[in-house]
Structure 1
Amino acid sequence: MTALYGVIGDPIAHSLSPAMHNDAFRALQYDAYYHAFHITPENLETAVKGMKAIGVAGFNVTIPHKTAIMPYLDEIDPLAEAIGAVNTVVRRGGSLIGYNTDGPGFIQAFREESGKDVKTEKVLVIGAGGAAKAIYYSLAKEGAAAIDLCNRNVERAAAIQRANPFSCQSDVLGLKEAETRLGEYTLIVQTTPVGMHPDTEAQPVSLENVKPGTFVSDIIYNPFETKILKEARKRGARTQNGLGMFIYQGAIAFKKWTGINPDTDRMKSIVLDKLGGTLC
């Protein structure tokens, strides 16, 4: 019998996940189908019960349900519990178990594109939203040498730091202080929506003090090269957009569901095709 997987969100029609996962199933000759389910907040609890009742094998969770879904699951992975958000649900026996693959997806993309291990990195994470929290806690869990947080609202960043359940060396900075200290970091991660289409000329901090060779990552992939990445490249930094994080968070979810590592190059090709087939 064909296994059913999917993604829930509101809105959801724009999701690239069905194309990516259904192609992976076809390539592996795996008898499964992945569907985008439009679930509004008031129907979330009913939808989760329905997923369980009909035997959905696993599903992704996107905005605005990543936190709201947690009380309706049978078990939460410790990393997802710490982050306070679930983006992947796995059916195991009769139970639905929640995971967060966003942070691990970022780390895997960084390793693949940089050839480095996070344990050697002094990191600056820009932002204090859900993505910043997922990446910060995942880096801390993996043993990054040091991880500083900066944000316009310093207290929001401090709250993430205080709640971190994993041991790490960490400071909280305002944006201006972070700008003056950019030369200290080997990895800078931009997690805010600043620079996303259509406001593509904005950037959260100046990179005037960045060192050549620093790895600068922006989790945005529309546009493929944000203004902060353009500035970083001009100053001799290595750059990475958010496409790799999106691919690897999906690949990690796929492995959790099926036990199989999908072809991430093929996944990337499918997503690029859906985005217009260009890196510009």
Structure 2
Amino acid sequence: MAYKMAIIPHLDELTPEGEAIGAINTMFLKANPDGSRRFCGTNTDYVGVRKGFSANVPDLAIYRGRPGLVIGGGGTSRTAIYAFQHFLECPPIYMVNRDKSEVDAVNWNAEHN
């Protein structure tokens, strides 16, 4: 996960998903009107998380407005939080992890609520 965050300062632009998740797993070039290019980043992991939910629950609406729980503060936690917020509309979202500093590093409460 560290590289997914470390690349951000080196990019010219982030997609809304990349910015919200705070981790980049896909980079691409975008053309400027003058012919120059800018280096952009996004995160596509949330698509897999979303599909994981929808593949196992036929009607996601039953979870809307209910709390979410993310176990672990590692690489996928940011993506899981994004999916909870944007596809399941879960308020609040709780995190459980052995290392408080990993949860603090996600900093999702301040940035993404």
* Secondary structure at the counterpart of residue 124 of structure 1: strand
Q: Name the CA distance, whole Å, in 2 between partners of 1:85 and 1:150.
A: 20
CA RMSD of aligned residues (A): 2.6
Give the corresponding residue for 1:109: 52
Q: Structure 1: 5+ residue runs without aligned partners? A: 1-62, 168-280
Given candidates 131, 147, 160, the residue that maps to 2:106 is 160
TM-score (norm 1): 0.33
Q: CA deviation at 1:149?
A: 0.6
> How far 1:70 moved relative to its partner?
1.7
Choose between structure 1 and 2: higher helix proportion.
Answer: 2
Query: What's the % identity of the aligned pairs?
Result: 30
| Secondary structure, counterpart of 1:90 in structure 2 | strand
- The corresponding residue for 1:151 is 97
Verify the 8 A CA contact 2:20 2:112 in the aligned structure 1. no
Residue 72 of structure 1: how far off its partner (Å): 2.4
The answer (yes or no) to whether the contact 1:102–1:134 under 8 Å persists in 2 is yes
Q: Is the 8 A contact 1:103 1:139 kept in 2?
A: no
Cα pair distance change 1:71/1:156, threshold 3 Å: closer
Please identify the structure whose Cα radius of gyration is greater: 1
Identify the structure with bigger relative contact order (alpha carbons < 8 Å, sequence gap 6+). Answer: 2
Query: Any unmatched runs of 5+ in structure 2?
Result: 32-36
Partner of 1:68: 6
Aligned equivalents of 2:2 and 2:68: distance in 1?
Answer: 28
- Alpha-carbon displacement from aligned partner over 1:111-165 (angstroms, at most 9, x marks no partner): 1222232525432110112211221133223322432111112343245355543
1:64 offset after TM fit, Å? 5.8
